[in-house]
Structure 1
Amino acid sequence: MKLFIFSCLLVFSGNVFAQDPVSAARNNNISELAGFKNAGVDLNKADSRGFTPLIIAVYNNNPEAVQFLLNANVDINTGDSAGNTALMGAAFKGYTNLAALLIKKGTDVNQVNANNATALIFAATFGHTEIIQLLLDAKADTKITDRFGKTALNHAQLQENETIEKLLK
């Protein structure tokens, strides 16, 4: 019933609202996210491509939306259709502040995606030294191998990134 009433309010209010929580997260629209939450909408629900609001908020570097969603107790470890988590997105994009927040909130630093890659492998591949240090401090497993049998260290070596190689040895 709450969802029906909220939907009617969206249609008749004259205001422009996102069509779903993923769009609200993409646009860092906290008031819309709050409206969805108050209406009982599942903030863990993925869109057609498997992206949850949290994953999209991280990927778009929207710290306010990330914080709102974490405070709403969304599943911090849900992956997209390829198994990529919000932490993997932060490691890929190099968003150290968001990686730190996700780690502080208890994300699984050793979760793997469909290719058996971890956030540490992403950070090593894309040269994000500060994120690697955060992950190591959070006890990320340096011995996990991706589907190609490569560790984070192997990826750093492929990128010829000596700084990261030293961190991972």
Structure 2
Amino acid sequence: MNALESGVYDVLTIAVVADDPEMVFLAITLGNNADLTTSVYGRTALIAAAHLGHYDVVSRLAAAGASLDHINNLRRTALIEFVILGDSGPNHIKTVQILVDAGADKSIPDRDGNTPLKHAMGVGT
């Protein structure tokens, strides 16, 4: 379950990108590690789900104990990726609410010292 196809994505991350909450649940139930580091960016499935605005998937990952504050090799958390790559539409708003309610740390900065709030305000971008 934790094998990476072509060295990049696992079953869980593929299900996350496809916005398939049932497959996410099944992958986790069958032993996929919700904190597995994938992709060339060193991200997790949660980071991918957050920046895509897949709120139901984010909710399932948070409930499964996925790390809310994983920092990828761009020095970005799911909240920072959400702000930088999200479209601020209703799905992204639900996504950030789930992350914050689940306890994601809003104070973790990126490599330039900018927090998610600073990015949202356009400071330092």
Is the TM-score greater than 0.5?
yes
Q: How does 1:136-147 map to 2 (within 5 A)?
A: 136-147=100-111
Aligned with 1:60 (options 18, 41, 44): 18
Distance in 1 of aligned mates of 2:105 and 2:48: 18
Identity %: 32
RMSD across aligned positions (CA): 1.5
Aligned-partner residue type, residue 95 of structure 1: H
**Match for residue 4 of structure 1?**
none
**Match for residue 31 of structure 1?**
none
Please tell me whether Structure 1 or Structure 2 has the larger radius of gyration of its CA atoms.
Answer: 1
Aligned with 1:153 (options 103, 117, 125): 117
**Match for residue 106 of structure 1?**
65
Deviation at 1:73, TM superposition (A): 1.9
**Match for residue 72 of structure 1?**
30
Deviation at 1:144, TM superposition (A): 0.6
Q: TM-score, normalised by structure 1?
A: 0.65
Deviation at 1:50, TM superposition (A): 1.6
Q: 1:65-85: per-residue Cα shift (whole Å, max 9, x none)?
A: 211101112110012132111
**Match for residue 134 of structure 1?**
98
Deviation at 1:55, TM superposition (A): 0.7
Higher helix share: 1
Deviation at 1:49, TM superposition (A): 4.2
Distance in 1 of aligned mates of 2:7 and 2:122: 30
Aligned-partner residue type, residue 115 of structure 2: T
Distance in 2 of aligned mates of 1:141 and 1:79: 19
Q: TM-score, normalised by structure 2?
A: 0.86
Partner SS state of residue 121, structure 2: helix
